[in-house]
Amino acid sequence: MTEDTQVATRPGGLPQVNKIGFSDIGEALGQGWHDFMRAPQYGLIFGGFYVLGGFAILAALAVYDMPWMIIPVAIGFPLLGPFIAVGLYDVSRRLHAGEPLKMGEIFGLMFRQKDRQLGWMAFVVLFIFWIWVYQVRLLLALFLGFKSFSSVGMFLTVITTTSEGLGFLAVGTLVGAGLSFVLFASTVVAMPLLLERELDFVSAIITSFKAVTKNFLPMIAFGALIVLFTFVAMVPAFLGLVLALPILGHATWHLYKKLVV
């Protein structure tokens, strides 16, 4: 990697974290859009993989006759985005460093992450995803008993027109927000940091949490924008994610470069 991509560290070994403002969030999003326009083929490829993954999950739920799980899984599915975006981080890094974009090298770098600390981060992300899925099942049992729902429409009717369903929505939203914050704070800096340099994943997670807590309001705003863009993009059968995921992925890389010295 080039000299300007090296990360400064404190005496204790953890990277230094900068203070940023709301203007940095807007600038990072603009840079993310610029990177996407410079190399749209890469963004469309990675975004397409993400959309295909969403279709595969929906197909599996249909096969196993669990249509009521479509909504919680669709809500939790974006939690996997940070790990899928690793290839986008490398594209942005190469564009910034003036390095050539070579598909084989980028995919090769992604494949090699299984032998590095990013592989452990994949377990962290998947673990939080499964916690989300199982807490939905637990809350369903607590609030709605063991009712079976024959369709998504019936499930929506029950949770929006009954007191038990509204209680399920309220508690589920709070729990989901808490899990989403934990995942966001754990990965928003940790993923690109581990791609850029050798560091244990625990230190990367600590650095990521420090970056979020030190810049709480701007980072919460960035997280809220991710949620907003993602849900809007998911409305047309996940297809909008082909654009939303690469732009947000590139933007996350540029925000990371502003946060970490």
Q: How far is CA 199 from CA 25, 81, 117, 130, 211, in A?
A: 26, 21, 7, 26, 16
Token pair of 223 as six digits: 């997280």
Express each pLDDT in 45-66 by its tens digit: 988 887 887 777 777 766 766 6
Amino acid at position 69, single letter? M
Enumerate residues 6+ apart whose C-beta is below 8 A from 18.
258, 259, 260, 261
What are the distances in angstroms from CA 128 to CA 180, 229, 234, 261? Answer: 9, 21, 21, 29
- Rounded to whole angstroms, how far apart are CA atoms 222 and 220? 5
Nearest-angstrom CA–CA distance, 211 and 163: 40
Looking at residue 149, its pLDDT comes to 66
> Three-class SS of residue 260?
strand
Q: Calculate the alpha carbon distances from 218 to 16, 23, 118, 249, 254 in Å.
A: 18, 9, 26, 17, 14
Enumerate the β-bridge partners of residue 9.
15
> Within 13 Å and on the Cβ side, how many CA atoms surround 36?
23
Nearest to 208 by CA among 155, 259, 132, 144: 259
- With both helix axes pointing from N to C terminus, report the angle between 117-144 and 163-187 in degrees, rounded to the nearest 10: 170
- Structural contact between residues 217 and 57, judged by C-beta atoms closer than 8 angstroms: no
The whole-number pLDDT of residue 13 equals 72
Contact 247, 32 (CB under 8 A): yes
Please give the chain's pLDDT, 261 residues, in tens.
Answer: 443 444 444 445 789 999 999 999 999 999 999 999 999 999 999 888 878 877 777 777 667 666 666 666 666 665 566 667 888 999 999 999 999 999 889 888 888 877 788 878 878 887 887 888 788 888 888 888 866 666 667 777 888 888 888 898 899 888 888 988 998 999 999 999 998 888 899 999 999 999 999 999 999 999 999 988 888 887 766 788 889 989 999 999 999 999 998
Nearest to 223 by CA among 155, 172, 159, 177: 177
- pLDDT at position 168, please? 87
